[in-house]
Amino acid sequence: MKEQIVFNKTKIIATVGPATNSKEGLRDLISAGVDVFRLNFSHGTHEDHLKVINHINTLNDEMGTNIPMLQDLQGPKIRLGEMEKGTKIVKGQEFVITSDEMVGNDQMGSTVYKSLPNDVEPGAMILIDDGKIELKVKSVEGNKVITEVIYGGDVKSRKGINLPFSNISAPSLTEKDMKDLVFGLAHDLEWVALSFVRKAEDIVELRKLIENAGKNTKIIAKIEKPEAVDNIDEIIAVTDAIMVARGDLGVEINMEEVPMVQKSIVRKCNDAAKPVIIATQMMESMIENPRPTRAETNDVANAVMDGADTLMLSAETAAGEYPIEVVTSMVKTIKSVEKDAEIYFNHDVSVVRDSDFFYNDTLVLSACRLAKAIRAKALIGMTQSGYTAFQLSSNRPKAGIFIFTSNRPLLKTINLIWGVRGFYYNNEVSTDATIADIEKILVDHDHLKSGDAYINTASMPIDARGKTNMIKMSFVE
């Protein structure tokens, strides 16, 4: 399958679910513009996920695509237990949450999180169902948390519980997550997202598990706790990417603070050359409607203008009635922004002098500035580790970023990064011959045409595959 001539620089993640988990459903999403598939391990069995993994691998072979998979671990998600149908609680009444297993009613409910009585104190806020219901802790008596209902409503089984401003004792990586991680690593999923990250050590622990398994899976830290916001610089330093998970974050901190937190995290990630994903409620109305609201379209556009690498769709593609339409709509908005807005070179990239990669980073920055000056159509990188791809992308150049590598699995990994398209290439003989080869490939794929300027970055000697140390400006004859 020939690669599309026009593509988004801002990538799209689609969550796979009952609405899209067939081979044809996944094929349609790829054709509509999906760049990454998310497998949500809060739902489904390993057998269910394996069917999807096999479908995606087959489609990559059949379609000539490099669509990676993102394993999203559940983390210490706190949920209600089973509730009687039609249960409703009202303002001012007392409602008890117990860690004993039971079927709840309008007086008492249970939670699967056994440490809840230890983690809350009198006066603490408890939110249920993304904040639709608010409770205030009155007292803790053994394994029972006695609360007053501040805002009532319908109480449904298995709905999420959030504890804003309370410290959770459960580790970010649960026993279930460990089993799911072993499964994901066994099937070589390219990215793994760790839920409810609170500190850098959470990422370091996960990294050790991945390395001990002999894998190169990249880590995404999901930011959805106030502790993570407080420790964001340290987390960015040790992770491979960040996800601003606005659903839980929006009920764990004051909702009105989320927009500025989002913008701040995006900027920090751009500066650190770490991909950043904006997630949750991007186009939620399209779960049931064929068109987005104006507010949703503006939300998508603003995330692109802020500098997000990737936008994520959740229930919209997993369980919605219009999964293809939502991707198509998001693509249209992204393309409109990328065509008209000043999103390119929109921040000053700085290099760290005492970094081990100071010279490489300086060279990449120079290549991007040269591309801007001569209005180059392409910036080309050759890499085995993917480092050049991350660095080129962080400069947000207007030129297309094309990465050539003989590391075939890397082609999928880098498909999540802003602006990057990868090609398999394993024929490095000499610098001149390789550059001529690459030019022909890009011309054949209609990414370059006669008269176009392009910039090559590579290491010399080219067959040594060392750190990037060369820039070459060329023109297509």
pLDDT digits (tens, 9 = 90+) for 22-67: 999 999 999 999 999 999 999 999 999 999 999 999 999 999 999 9
Lowest-confidence segment of 93-102, 152-161, 163-172, 456-465 by average pLDDT: 456-465
Which of 201, 251, 204, 203 is CA-nearest to residue 225? 251
The pLDDT value recorded for residue 462 is: 67
One of 280, 297, 310, 388 is an active-site residue; which one?
280
Task: Report the distance separating Cα 254 and Cα 461, nearest Å.
Answer: 54
Q: Report the alpha-carbon distance of residue 207 to residue 218 in Å, rounded.
A: 9
Q: How far apart are CA 436 and CA 438, in angstroms?
A: 6
80-125 pLDDT, tens digit per residue, is 999 999 999 999 999 999 999 999 999 999 998 889 999 999 999 9
Alpha helices in 274-357 (DSSP H): 294-306, 315-318, 323-340
Under a CB-based contact definition with an 8 Å cutoff, are residues 290 and 324 in contact? no
Q: What is the residue extent of each domain of the chain? A: 11-76+172-337, 88-162, 358-475
Catalytic residue among 11, 38, 246, 396: 38
Q: pLDDT confidence of 2, banded at 50, 70, 90?
A: very low
pLDDT at 147: 98
- Inform me whether the pLDDT recorded for 317 exceeds 70: yes
- Which burial class, exposed, middle or buried, applies to 26 when counting CB atoms under 10 A from its CB (0-12, 13-18, 19+)? buried
Whole-number Å distance between alpha carbons of 285 and 288: 6
Residue 262 has pLDDT above 90, yes or no: yes
Residue 265: in which H helix or E strand, if any?
Answer: helix 258-272
Class of domain 358-475: alpha beta
263 is catalytic: no
On the question of pLDDT at 357 being above 50, the answer is yes
- The structural architecture, per CATH, of the domain 11-76+172-337 is Alpha-Beta Barrel (3.20)
What was the pLDDT predicted at 280?
Answer: 93
pTM of the predicted model as reported, rounded to 2 decimal places: 0.93
The answer to which of 391-400, 419-428, 463-472 has the lowest mean pLDDT is 463-472
| Residue in 461, 271, 467, 464 with CA at minimum distance from that of residue 358 | 467
CATH architecture of 88-162: Beta Barrel (2.40)
pLDDT in tens, 190-247: 999 999 999 999 999 999 999 999 999 999 999 999 999 999 999 999 999 999 999 8
61 CB burial (10 A radius; 0-12, 13-18, 19+): exposed
Q: What are phi and psi of 77, to 5 degrees?
A: -70, 125
| Residue 31: alpha-carbon gap to chain centroid | 20
Give CA torsion, residues 393, 32, 302, 319, to 10 deg: -120
**Residue 209 DSSP one-character state:** H
Is residue 119 within 8 Å of 171, Cβ to Cβ?
no
Q: Beta strands 241-245 and 276-279: pairing type?
A: parallel
Annotated active-site residue 79? The verdict is: yes
**Which among 23, 51, 79, 159 is annotated as catalytic?**
79
- Would you state the pLDDT for residue 6? 47
Asked if the model's pLDDT at residue 74 lies above 80, the reply is: yes
Q: Which of 222, 225, 274, 377 is catalytic?
A: 222
Identify the band that residue 166 occupies on the pLDDT scale cut at 50, 70 and 90. Answer: confident
Per-chain mean pLDDT for the chain: 93
- 222 in active site: yes
Kindly report each contact of residues 264-267 with a partner whose C-beta sits within 8 Å and lies 24 or more positions away, as own/partner.
Answer: 264/232, 265/223, 265/229, 265/232, 266/303, 266/306, 266/307, 266/308, 267/306, 267/307, 267/347
270 has pLDDT over 70: yes
Task: Tell me if residue 310 is catalytic.
Answer: no
d(CA 98, CA 220): 33
247 and 284 Cβ atoms separated by less than 8 Å: no
Burial 140-166 (b: 16+ CB within 10 A, else e): beeebbbbebeebbebbeebbbbbbeb
CB-based contact 154:88 (threshold 8 Å): yes
